[in-house]
A and B are shown apart, each in its own frame.
Chain A
């Protein structure tokens, strides 16, 4: 079993749609959680950290359920510029080794 598993993609959605990505992690000792965004042939960039209380940043909302070992990302009012690969990331050990999921491709179309 992979340490971090994500919804298979790609997700093809029209502009303005709401889209949700899900992620599960296997290590119950995981402490920190993130969503990274990666554009084609570019490096990953931090989109947002994920907290137990849930957090929101504009059109983006992230949720964490420690009991179910489940992380989600909701994107509202999708823009063409949201097209990218979204990586679910877990930081489980002392230090800051990041464990990445395989990513979910989002394509927003006009």
Chain B
């Protein structure tokens, strides 16, 4: 079975632009979460979606938004990019939205903002 897939793998943008990152969860998984990992730090929670509804939001500005589609894939959108948005963006999927349920991470999208 395929794992979590993300696209694109790498992306270079300039300040002020917007970006859309995509994630396909493992087949049968209904929960998708997004994390941002800046170099030298652990991943930081951005959003969680379950059954197409937002179930959690981290401490990120409104420039960050996301959605989940009927097939459980998800998009993360970031508007008005800043240099500080340069990071590895990770998508994780799990069968349920519940404590202790294992989350499986995709390979991530590396975003560089110039």
Give the residues in chain A near B35, CB-CB below 8 Å: 98, 100
Contacting A at CB under 8 A, from B91-107, are 92, 94, 96-107
What range describes how many residues of A lie at the interface?
Answer: 20 to 34
Give the residues in chain B near A97, CB-CB below 8 Å: 33, 45, 48, 56, 58
Give the residues in chain A near B97, CB-CB below 8 Å: 95-96
Tell whether A44 pairs with B100 under 8 Å between CB atoms, given A95-B56, A97-B48.
no
Contacting B at CB under 8 A, from A32-71, are 32, 42-46, 49
A102 CB–B CB distance under 8 Å: yes
Nearest chain B CB to A4 CB, angstrom units: 8
Q: Which of A31, A42, A43, A102 is B100 in contact with, Cβ under 8 Å?
A: A31
Please give me the residue from chain A that is nearest to B104 by CB atom. A46
Number of contacting residues on B, CB 8 A? 30
B50 with A95: CB separation less than 8 A: yes
What 1/0 mask marks residues of chain B from 35 to 55 whose CB sits below 8 Å from any chain A CB?
Answer: 100001111110010100001
Q: Which of B55, B90, B102, B105 is A95 in contact with, Cβ under 8 Å?
A: B55
B99 with A94: CB separation less than 8 A: yes
30 contacts between A and B (CB under 8 A): A4-B42, A31-B99, A31-B100, A43-B106, A43-B108, A45-B105, A46-B102, A46-B103, A46-B104, A49-B102, A87-B42, A94-B99, A95-B55, A95-B99, A96-B31, A96-B48, A96-B96, A96-B97, A96-B99, A96-B100, A96-B103, A97-B45, A97-B48, A97-B56, A97-B58, A98-B33, A98-B43, A98-B45, A98-B92, A102-B41
